[in-house]
A and B are shown apart, each in its own frame.
Chain A
Amino acid sequence: QVQLVESGGGVVQPGRSLRLSCAASGFTFSRNGMHWVRQAPGKGLEWVAVIWYDGSNKYYADSVKGRFTISRDNSKNTLYLQMNSLRAEDTSVYYCARDLGSATSCLDYWGQGTLVTVSS
């Protein structure tokens, strides 16, 4: 069965960096696009970034463009999110999610999420 397990969350000071990971199993990782979606405490869902199945294209929300970088290692079945210059408003649960296809942007499986808290 499809499993997505995020890790790397924690408490970090404003301006610092953090890297999230998402370990995938139960499917052929290299065939699906992958996304990061976040949810601030008590708020709705906010899409963060997508990377195509082969890593050839990446797109970001305006709120993170230039600060966050999505990447993947298909040999390790792992998705990453490098977050730099973190701000208080980046505090959220970060979910990785599988694309229904190679790059449809419909999300059919989600991880359990990892909490990132940006605070001094």
Chain B
Amino acid sequence: DIQMTQSPSTLSASVGDRVTITCRASQSISSWLAWYQQKPGKAPKLLIYKASSLESGVPSRFSGSGSGTEFTLTISSLQPDDFATYYCQQYNSHSVTFGGGTKVEIK
């Protein structure tokens, strides 16, 4: 199975900060990567698919980049609603795997 490694596991930031989360795949997944946001007690929400395509309705401050094994999720200016846990997910193979998550906390 393809392993997905996210870093950092926790990130402390302030409103207005630029935030970057990294996801590494154990083998090439081309651009078959998605990013999700999850708030406590809620279901995950799709933000980005195919590494850099913004899901409809997601604010443009979210962006994704990368291909192969290295990917990033960037929030250009952190807003109060963005404090949450973020997961990457590879869908290069039928056996889907998620990263371990990055919790974005208030500094």
Chain A residues in the interface with B (C-beta under 8 A):
35, 37, 44-47, 50, 57, 59, 61-62, 95, 100, 104-113
Which of A44, A61, A62 has the largest count of B CB atoms less than 10 A from its CB? A44
Contact count A vs B, C-beta below 8 Å:
58
Are B98 and A47 touching (Cβ within 8 A)?
yes
Are A105 and B43 touching (Cβ within 8 A)?
no
**Complexed CA–CA distance, A112 and B44 (Å):** 9
Size class of B's contact patch?
20 to 34
Q: Within the complex, which residue of B42, B44, B94, B95 is in contact with A45, where a contact is CB–CB below 8 Å?
A: B44
* Chain A residue nearest to B55 in the complex (CB): A108
Are A106 and B91 touching (Cβ within 8 A)?
yes
In the complex, chain B residues whose CB is within 8 Å of the CB of A50: 94, 96
B83 within 8 A of A: no
B34 within 8 A of A: yes
